[in-house]
C-alpha cells in the first residue's frame, strides 16, 4: 500500500481511538466517578482543568479529585457530542473539542450542566490517552431552576 494511503488510514484510526477513549471516560464518570477507571484514560502527567472545580496536574491530583467527587455525587449521566478532532501532521499528537451534557444528582439535588471541552491527546504505552482536559461551563445549575441560574452553585459543589 502506498505511503499516502497508509497515512490517511492512520489518521482515521487515530480519530476512532480518541473517540473511544473519550467515551470510555464518559462511562467511567457514570459509575459514578470510578477514579481507577478514569486514571486509565489520562496520561500520567495529564492536566485536568475544570473551571470552578479547580486545576489538577498528574495522576495523584486528578485521582484524588475524582475520588472525592464520587463521595458526594451518587448519580451521574454524561453525554459527549459534537466532537472535532485534529491530528498533528506527524501523527504523534491530537487535539479535540467536544460538547458535554450532564445530569448528576449532587447530594440529593438534581442538577443539569452543559460545557465545552478542549482536550489534547497523545499515545502512552501504545494507547491514545487524554493528556489535557480543559472544560468551560456553559451552565451548571439545579434542575429546579434551569440554566438561567448558570453556575451559581458550581462553587459549592466543587471538591474540597
Partner 1 sequence: MSLDNTPALSDTTKEANMDLNHELTQRIDVLESTDAIREVRHRFNELLDAALESGSDHTLDQLVALLAPDFRWTSKVHGSVHGAGAFAALVKDRSTTCQMSFRILASDLHHPSDDADRSTVTWSSLGMLTIDDQQLWAAAANTDTYARIDGTWRIESIDNDYKFVCRYEEGWTDERFVEHTLLSRVM
Three-class DSSP category at 98:
strand
Peptide bond into 6 cis (omega under 30): no
Pick the closer one to partner 1 by CB: 20 or 40. Answer: 20
Verify binding: residue 114, partner 1, rule CB under 8 A: yes
Q: Does 77 bind partner 1 (CB under 8 A)?
A: no
Binding status of residue 78 toward partner 1 by CB under 8 A = no
Instruction: Choose between 11 and 37: whose C-beta lies nearer to partner 1.
Output: 11
Q: Are 103 and 110 in contact (CB under 8 A)?
A: yes
Which residues of this chain interact with partner 1, rule CB under 8 A?
A: 1-2, 5, 8-9, 12, 15, 79, 81-85, 97, 99, 101, 114, 116, 138-139, 146-148
Amino acid at each position: 500500500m502506498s505511503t499516502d494511503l497508509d497515512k490517511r488510514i492512520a489518521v482515521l484510526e487515530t480519530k476512532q481511538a480518541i473517540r473511544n477513549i473519550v467515551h470510555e471516560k464518559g462511562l467511567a464518570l457514570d459509575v459514578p466517578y470510578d477514579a481507577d477507571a478514569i486514571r486509565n484514560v489520562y496520561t500520567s502527567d495529564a492536566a485536568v482543568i475544570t473551571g470552578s472545580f479547580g486545576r489538577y496536574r498528574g495522576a495523584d491530583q486528578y485521582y484524588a479529585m475524582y475520588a472525592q467527587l464520587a463521595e458526594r455525587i451518587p448519580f451521574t449521566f454524561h453525554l459527549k457530542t459534537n466532537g472535532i478532532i485534529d491530528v498533528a501532521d506527524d501523527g504523534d499528537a491530537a487535539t479535540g473539542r467536544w460538547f458535554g451534557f450532564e445530569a448528576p444528582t449532587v447530594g440529593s439535588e438534581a442538577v443539569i450542566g452543559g460545557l465545552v471541552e478542549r482536550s489534547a491527546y497523545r499515545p502512552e504505552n501504545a494507547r491514545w490517552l487524554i493528556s489535557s482536559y480543559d472544560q468551560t461551563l456553559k451552565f451548571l445549575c439545579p434542575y429546579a431552576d434551569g440554566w438561567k441560574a448558570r453556575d451559581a452553585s458550581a462553587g459549592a459543589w466543587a471538591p474540597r
